[in-house]
Chain A
């Protein structure tokens, strides 16, 4: 088993919670893991990314090589494009379509979507809306995790267990809402891609 993925977003969107859930699942499976994060200045509303690597063999580098990530998971559409050189030719781009317009000249969202659609294997959907419909908007990250699940390579049951553990301290209600959002996004991507 080997997964090289980039998680991308804007500082403050909480992309690290996505990798924390994947990490829980991976550790239970006894996999090796490396995950490079961004701390410090860029966290203040700037572009942030995380390199997440899983393997059943020891992993050497904390960073992924260009052209070798099998998955880019982005919680913001323009940010999904920033790390495209890391994506392998047959990799998947899974992104939220809801923009975070915290800069002066945010590009035309239509052009951003067109650029995303240039990547043959992509999943583009409004994760904020899906999360709101099935729970609360705060579960947007879990919706993204659900949409990326078929491309991560870990069993769904393991990821659901990890979501359960991640929110255990917050009570049954919070766990249930997150699982509902996760399953709805998982179902959506099945319909969109057949995966």
Chain B
């Protein structure tokens, strides 16, 4: 077979296509986005017209994936780690319903927060829900684990989480494709009560989930993805999860002199861990993420043997692993020959030249000039860069949709003006319900929806808010037509835009100002595509 050079994300996508999925569902989020964009790009060319349209948010995506599984077909659902918080309601309950067709929930974590608000480790969620988890350590394994994961999901009748991190997602390596499987036929679950989580059914399903745990552990013990690699020097045993083993091999120039347990399938194979613990004098735990296993091994009381890792400072407490921190933990650190010269200045990301958000922040600041210490609650997207110089125009960025609801809470507390700034895709993702709260109470809030007709931050994916429907959504929720404005945030219109905003800030009720101008990147891309088609 020919070698393909694929990002980890693309290997996952190709693996899912070749494993016979009928649908991929997700919401864009770094570092998971390229999975679905790859399926959109190559699926049809490969003769696989599967479902590949972006969902409104991660919760709707997972529910849609569960619905496809309900119908007996294989579905892949993708999201970034914080997206799983949004999907958590369905996630926890899908563990109780179980699945019919195979269901893989791909969660891409972002340790070191390259493009995220936190570095939560999704392995906790898999443990919480008591479902199996796979954690590939190479792009090839990410490809292979799709088929393996679907077969596992169907064998144990549970959703399976596949957890990856930024380095694997956004690194290319050669991948060889395997057999291409056809889609599964439509086949509804024979047990009609399976998905009806009335307390009586839920208790029964939950008991069955718990009863299934020893069998899941047994699968982990014998899984090809949990490798015990013996080593002569038993003064130390190394427990390496996910991609940590790559860094270990890098610094050891091949195989480690110490015994290594490379762990890539969960629930935790207790027997393999016990063997490592019994055979070695001390244990070093290397986890790409939070110290989940390390905490369990250390326990609340002093352990029988020394356990090293992120908790005792052998490895940094936060951030992704690297060959350098792993080398240092093993006493194999290197001294760099050069340091960064003092002349090097920080170069943070910034809004593009010609970005419509810059025009919005110009008139927003102009309108707020008459207030002492005005605050603007904002959200997740390119416009979050408005917190930085030269704009310094926003004061919060918490979670998708929190701008509107936090502005409402601040208004409830007596803050005036209470202003929210939110993007179109973020608004449809999680802002609509917050606006409904505001309308129901007639809250004194002014909401700016920055409608750039795309999901820009992640690279311009289609969003549910496209095609100029945002104003219709707002009117449908009950925003009064005279307090709904659609403006063009061009810098030369700043004065008149500021006037509109000032009027609405004076109105003691819900106002929405839609700042509508296409993202400059999306516009250039669309022009190029139109030229190619012409």
- Residues on B with C-beta less than 8 A from A23 are 5, 172
Cα distance A60–B249 in the bound complex, in angstroms: 6
Cα distance A51–B171 in the bound complex, in angstroms: 9
A19's closest neighbor in chain B, by CB? Answer: B172
Query: A177 contacts the other chain (Cβ, under 8 Å)?
Result: no
Query: B352 contacts the other chain (Cβ, under 8 Å)?
Result: yes
A138-149: CB near B (< 8 Å → 1, else 0) gives 000000000000
Q: When the two chains form their complex, are residues B115 and A34 in contact, meaning their CB atoms are under 8 A apart?
A: no
Query: B347 contacts the other chain (Cβ, under 8 Å)?
Result: yes
Q: When the two chains form their complex, are residues B341 and A84 in contact, meaning their CB atoms are under 8 A apart?
A: yes
A155-184: CB near B (< 8 Å → 1, else 0) gives 000000000000000000000000000000
Query: A154 contacts the other chain (Cβ, under 8 Å)?
Result: no
Which residue of B31, B338, B382, B389 is within 8 Å of A39 (Cβ)? B31
A119's closest neighbor in chain B, by CB? Answer: B338
- Residues on A with C-beta less than 8 A from B335 are 67
Q: When the two chains form their complex, are residues A40 and B323 in contact, meaning their CB atoms are under 8 A apart?
A: no
Q: When the two chains form their complex, are residues A65 and B343 in contact, meaning their CB atoms are under 8 A apart?
A: no
Bin chain A's interface residue count: 35 or more
Query: A124 contacts the other chain (Cβ, under 8 Å)?
Result: no
Query: B199 contacts the other chain (Cβ, under 8 Å)?
Result: no
Cα distance A60–B344 in the bound complex, in angstroms: 31
Query: B442 contacts the other chain (Cβ, under 8 Å)?
Result: no
Instruction: Tell me the count of chain B residues lying within 8 A, CB to CB, of chain A.
Output: 51
Which residue of A46, A62, A102, A105 is within 8 Å of B171 (Cβ)? A62
Which residue of A41, A68, A102 is within 8 Å of B30 (Cβ)? A41
Query: A153 contacts the other chain (Cβ, under 8 Å)?
Result: no
B442-472: CB near A (< 8 Å → 1, else 0) gives 0000000000000001110000000000000
A80's closest neighbor in chain B, by CB? Answer: B344
Q: When the two chains form their complex, are residues B167 and A41 in contact, meaning their CB atoms are under 8 A apart?
A: no
**A44-99 with Cβ < 8 A to chain B:** 44-47, 51, 59-68, 78-79, 81-82, 84-89, 91
Cα distance A102–B335 in the bound complex, in angstroms: 32
Among B31, B168, B171, the one with the most A-chain Cβ atoms within 10 Å of its Cβ is B171
- Residues on B with C-beta less than 8 A from A136 are none
**B292-335 with Cβ < 8 A to chain A:** 322-324, 327, 334-335
Which residue of B31, B173, B349, B389 is within 8 Å of A34 (Cβ)? B173
Q: When the two chains form their complex, are residues B347 and A39 in contact, meaning their CB atoms are under 8 A apart?
A: no
Which residue of A35, A47, A60, A79 is within 8 Å of B172 (Cβ)? A35
- Residues on B with C-beta less than 8 A from A115 are 341, 343-344
Cα distance A48–B385 in the bound complex, in angstroms: 17
- Residues on B with C-beta less than 8 A from A102 are 347, 350
A94-117: CB near B (< 8 Å → 1, else 0) gives 000000001111111001100100
Cα distance A115–B338 in the bound complex, in angstroms: 11
Q: When the two chains form their complex, are residues A60 and B5 in contact, meaning their CB atoms are under 8 A apart?
A: no
With A81-B343, A106-B345 already in contact, the answer to whether A61 and B249 are too (CB < 8 A) is yes
Q: When the two chains form their complex, are residues A39 and B344 in contact, meaning their CB atoms are under 8 A apart?
A: no
Among B33, B168, B170, B346, the one with the most A-chain Cβ atoms within 10 Å of its Cβ is B170
Add 5 more A-B contacts to A44-B349, A82-B344 (CB < 8 A). Answer: A10-B347, A27-B174, A37-B172, A61-B250, A65-B250
